[in-house]
Amino acid sequence: MKKRLTVLMVLSLLIASTVAGRAVYIQILGDERLEKLAKRQFNSKMLVQARRGVIVDRSGEPLAINTEVQSLAANPSKVQNKKMMAKLLSKALGIPHEKLLARLKEKREFIWIKRHLPDEQIEQFKKWGITDVSGNLLPGFWLVKENFRRYPHGELASHVIGTVNLDSEGTEGVELWKNSKLEGKVVAMSSVKDALGRPTLYDASAVRDAKDGETIQLTLDASLQFAVEEELKLSLEKTKARAGAVIVMDAISGDILALANAPTFNPNVRGAPAENRRNRVLTDAFEPGSTLKPILLAGALNQGWKITDRLHGEHGSFKVQGKRISEAETHEKFEWIDLKKMIQVSSNVVSAKLAMKMGADKYMSTLRSFGFGEKSGTGFPGELSGWLPNAKKTWSPLTLANVGFGQGIMVTPIQMLRAYTAFVNGGWLVQPRLVKDPNKDEDSPAPIRAIPANVAEQVVDAMKTVTASDGTGKKAALEGYIVAGKTGTAQTVDAKTKKYSRSRYISSFIGFPVGVEPRIVIMTLLDEPKGVYYASETAAPLFKNVLNAVVTRFAIPSSSPIERKLAEAESKKNSKKKDTIQASMSQATPPAPTKLELSGTSPEGKIVWKMPSLEGMTAREALQILQGNDLRLEFHGNGLIQSQSPEAGTTITEGSLIKLRLENEL
C-alpha cells in the first residue's frame, strides 16, 4: 500500500512539475506561436480617421464641408438565407435583386452593400425585416460610419471647388489640387482590447500624430460669385450661347474674386456630364480675336510708336500672300487712322499692318512679356498654357498679320485677363490666385513688369474710347463709371471642315472701371451665341451687368462726382418736360441709349419717334442712332446709306421696320 502511494505521489509530482515547467516555459521563456496568438486576441490596430478639411470663401463662408453618413457592409460568409436577404435589401435600397444576390454569393469577408445611405433608407430596414426585434441588423450585416462631403451652396463655384469620390478623395478642382492638405493624416495605432473588444490601452503618441485636414480658403467671394453666376445664366438664356464664362480679378493682388462657368453642375449630385464639369476659364484655349489688339498696341508703344501715329486702312481690306484680310464689317472702309482709333473701331486691317511693321520677333516678345504661351501660374489642375505659332521658325507675313488681330494664336481666358491687369495696375503682370495660402504669400513670385506705366496709361486711354458712344463696346459702359475695355468676336475652327466657321463665334469683352478702388478687371465670354453674335451685343452687356454686381458688392463709389450726377438727373428731368431725349455725351457718364427725337405716344400707348435722316452715314453710325429701341432693321448692301424707308421726318413707333439701302447693294 505504501509503495503504491509513493508511486502515485511521484507520478503526481512528475505531472505537477511538468505542468509547472511548461508554465514557466510559457510565462518566462516564451513561445513565439503563443505570443502571436495572444497578440491577435488582445491587440488590435485602430485607424484614427482624419476629418477632411473644409473649403471656405475669402470671408470664411463654408463652400465644402463634411457630414457623417452610414454605409451598409456585409460579410457574405455569415449571411443566412441569401436569396431572401437579397430580396429584402432590394426593396429597402432600390438595388436590383440579382445584383445583390451576386454580391452576397461572393467568397469574401467584406463587401459594401451600399455606401452613403440616407437616413430614410436606414429607417426602411425595420419595415423590411432587415433588423431583429431589438433593432440590430441581422447577422452578417453592419453599418459603417463614414465622412461625406457636402456642398451647401450646390452649384455655386462648383467648377473651382471640384468633387470627391466615394472615399472622399479629391477628383477635380480644388478638391483634387489641394487633396494632400485637405485629407489630413490618418494614423494607425495599436491598442489593447478587453474581452468585449473595447480598447483598454492606447498608444498616446500615435494619437498625437493624427491630424485633421487643413482648411482651404479660396480667394472667391461667395456673394459676388452668386451674382456673377446669375448674370451669366441670364445672358446664356438671352443669347442662346453654347457655353460661357466670367472672371473677376483684383488687378493688384491677383485674387480671383469670381470665376463662373456655364453650363454648370451640382457637385452634390453624382454623374454630371464632363461637358458641364469643364472649367473653361483655365482648361480651354481659344483664339482671342480683337481683345488681343490692346496688347499689340502696348507692344508698339513700347517699341517707340506713338499713339497718334497713323496707318492706312486700305478701304477695308488688303491682301497678304494672296489671302484677303478684311474688316469685320464690309461697310468699314477706313483710310488714315491713328492707333487710338484702331482700338476704338477695332480695325483688323490696321492691326494686321501694325503687327507686320513691328515684325515677328518684337511682337512675339510682346506676347511673351504679357504671359502668353505659358501657364498663368494658378496651379489649378489641367490648366493649359495656350499656343503661340512656332517661335523657332520665322513667322510668315500672313501668320503675323493674323496674329495682329487675334487669330492664329490660342490663349486661355485667364491668360487674357492676366494680361489686361497690366493696363490697370501700371504695367505689372501679376500672378492670378485662387487659393489664399498664408504660408505661400512670402514665397509667391513678385509681379513682373510687362510694360512701362506711361504705355499702360496710353492703352487705357485708347480703351476708354471703346465704351464711348461711338465705340464698339458702348453697351459695356456703366452709368457713373469710366469704363475701359475691348470687345472681341473671334471665329472658331469647324472641327469637320478644319476651316474657320462662318456661323460659330466666341464673343468676349475684357474691361475695367477706371479710377476706382479696388482695381478690378472683368472678362466675359460667350461661346457660339445664336442670332446677333457680336461681342458688342452679347459679351459687352453681360460685362455691364457683372460690373454692376461688382460695384454693388464692394460698394465702389462712382468715379464721376455726385454734383455732376445730380446735374444730369436735373437735365434729364428738364428734357422729359420738352418730350425730347437729349443724349449726354461724356466719358464719365455714358450716353442714354437713344438719340432719337421723341414725338409723343400713340393712342395704343406706344412711343413715337421722329425718323432721323440716315443718308450718307455708315451702317454702324445708323445703328448707333437707332440702337436701344424696339425697332426692326434691315440693311441691304454695304458702304454708305443711299436711301431709307420711312423717310426722314416721318413718325415711327415701337416695332417699326426700317429699311436701309447702302451704296453697293448685293
Partner 1 sequence: MKRWIPLWTIPLIVVLAIATVWLRLSIVKTTYAINQTEKMITNVKHEREKAALKIAGLRSPRRLEAISKAKFRLAQPKADQVVYLK
Write the CB contacts of 496 (distance below 8 Å, at least 6 apart in sequence). Answer: none
Output 342 or 478, the one with its CB closest to partner 1. Answer: 478
> How crowded is residue 450: how many other Cβ atoms within 10 Å of its Cβ?
26
Residue range at the interface with partner 1 (CB under 8 A); choices 97-105, 425-433, 476-484, 657-665: 476-484
Which residues have C-beta within 8 Å of that of residue 639, sequence separation ≥ 6?
A: 330, 331, 333, 618, 662, 663, 664
Q: In angstroms, rounded to a whole number, what is the distance separating the alpha carbons of residues 275 and 282?
A: 14
Neighbours of 296 (CB within 10 A): 27
- Strands 111-117 and 62-74, by their bridges, are antiparallel
Buried b (16+ CB within 10 A) or exposed e, 632-665: eeeeebbbbbeebeeeeeeebeeebebebebeee
419, HSE (Cβ side, Cα atoms, 13 Å): 30
Looking at the Cβ atoms of 137 and 516, the one nearer to partner 1 is 516
The count of residues interacting with partner 1 (CB under 8 A) is 36
- Scanning 390-398, 474-482, 576-584, 632-640 for contacts with partner 1 by CB under 8 A, the matching segment is 474-482
- Shortest distance, CB of residue 559 to partner 1, whole angstroms? 10
358 half-sphere exposure, CB direction, 13 A CA radius: 31
User: Which element (helix H / strand E) includes 68?
Assistant: strand 62-74
Give me the least distance between CB of 20 and partner 1, in Å please.
21
Cβ closer to partner 1: 147 or 599? Answer: 147
DSSP letters spanning 117-181? E-HHHHHHHHHTT-B-TTSPBPTTEEEEEEEEEE-TTTTTTHHHH--B-TTS-B-SHHHHHTHHH
- The SS3 call for residue 440 is coil
Residue 368 CA, chain-centre distance (Å), reads 24
Residue 527 parent element (H or E):
strand 520-527
C-alpha distances in angstroms, 373 versus 130, 282, 411, 505? 61, 13, 7, 22
Tell me the C-alpha distance between 311 and 336, whole Å: 5
Q: Find the shortest distance in angstroms from Cβ 29 to partner 1.
A: 23
Compose the 68-107 pattern: x for residues touching partner 1 by CB under 8 A, - for all others: x---------------------------------------
Which is closer to partner 1, CB of 68 or CB of 443? Answer: 68
Closest separation in Å from C-beta 183 to partner 1:
16
In the complex with partner 1, which residue's Cβ is closer, 220 or 409? 220
Output 223 or 642, the one with its CB closest to partner 1. 223
Site for partner 1 in 545-564 (CB under 8 A): 548, 551-552, 555-558, 562
User: Whole-angstrom Cα distance, residue 99 to residue 109?
Assistant: 18
Phi, psi angle pair for 539, to nearest 5°: -75, -30
How far apart are CB 444 and partner 1 at their closest, in Å? 29
Q: Which of residues 161, 256, 417, 478 is near partner 1 by CB under 8 A? A: 478
Cα atoms in the Cβ-side hemisphere of radius 13 Å centred on 180: 1
Specify the residue, 151 or 372, whose C-beta has the smaller distance to partner 1.
151
Nearest to 354 by CA among 301, 424, 300: 300
Least distance between partner 1 and beta carbon 562 (Å):
6
Q: Would you say 18 or 67 has its CB closer to partner 1?
A: 67
Minimum CB separation of residue 655 from partner 1 in Å reads: 24
Instruction: Using alpha carbons, select from 463, 466, 469 the residue that is nearest to residue 621.
Output: 469
Q: Which is nearer to partner 1, 37 or 566 (CB)?
A: 566
> Where in 7-66 is the site for partner 1 (CB under 8 A)?
51, 61-62, 65-66
The least distance separating partner 1 from the CB of residue 468, rounded to whole angstroms, comes to 17
Q: Looking at 211, 565, 620, 661, which residue binds partner 1 (CB under 8 A)?
A: 565
For 466, phi then psi, to 5°, come to: -65, -35
State in angstroms the smallest separation of the CB of 114 from partner 1: 20
Minimum CB–partner distance for residue 302 and partner 1 (Å) = 35
Q: 335, 507, 490, 337: which is closest to 410 by C-alpha?
A: 490
Residue 643 CB, nearest approach to partner 1 (Å): 37
- Write the interaction track for partner 1 spanning residues 479-518; mark x where CB under 8 A is met and - where it is not: xx--------------------------------------
Judged by CB under 8 A, which of 154, 382, 616, 646 binds partner 1?
154
Which is nearer to partner 1, 341 or 475 (by Cβ)? Answer: 475
- 523-253-589 Cα angle (round to 5): 50
CB of residue 49 to partner 1, shortest distance in Å: 10
CB of 177 to partner 1, least distance (A): 22
- Rank residues 326 and 584 by Cβ distance to partner 1 and give the closer one: 584
Q: Residue 68 or residue 120: which is nearer to partner 1 going by CB?
A: 68
The secondary element (H helix, E strand) that includes residue 607 is strand 607-610
Q: Tell me which residues in 188-207 interact with partner 1 (CB under 8 A).
A: 194, 198-202
Shortest Å, Cβ 51 to partner 1: 7
Least distance between partner 1 and beta carbon 194 (Å): 7
Query: Using CB under 8 A, which of 152, 382, 593, 646 touches partner 1?
Result: 152
Q: Are 350 and 334 in contact (CB under 8 A)?
A: yes
Please classify residue 527 by burial: count the beta carbons closer than 10 Å to its beta carbon, then call 0-12 exposed, 13-18 middle and 19+ buried.
buried
> Which stretch in 27-35, 152-160, 162-170, 319-327 sits in contact with partner 1 by CB under 8 A?
152-160
Burial 458-489 (b: 16+ CB within 10 A, else e): bbbebbbbbbbbebbbbbbbbbbbbbbbbbbb
Pick 157 or 249: Cβ nearer partner 1: 157
For residues 210-229, which are near partner 1 according to CB under 8 A? 222-223, 226-227
Give Cα separations from 424 to 182, 446, 461, 512 (angstroms). 35, 17, 11, 8
Q: Judged by CB, which is closer to partner 1: 19, or 201? A: 201
Asked if 67 is part of the footprint of partner 1 (rule: CB under 8 A), the reply reads yes
Give the footprint of partner 1 on this chain (CB under 8 A): 51, 61-62, 65-68, 150, 152-154, 156, 194, 198-202, 222-223, 226-227, 230, 478-480, 544, 548, 551-552, 555-558, 562, 565
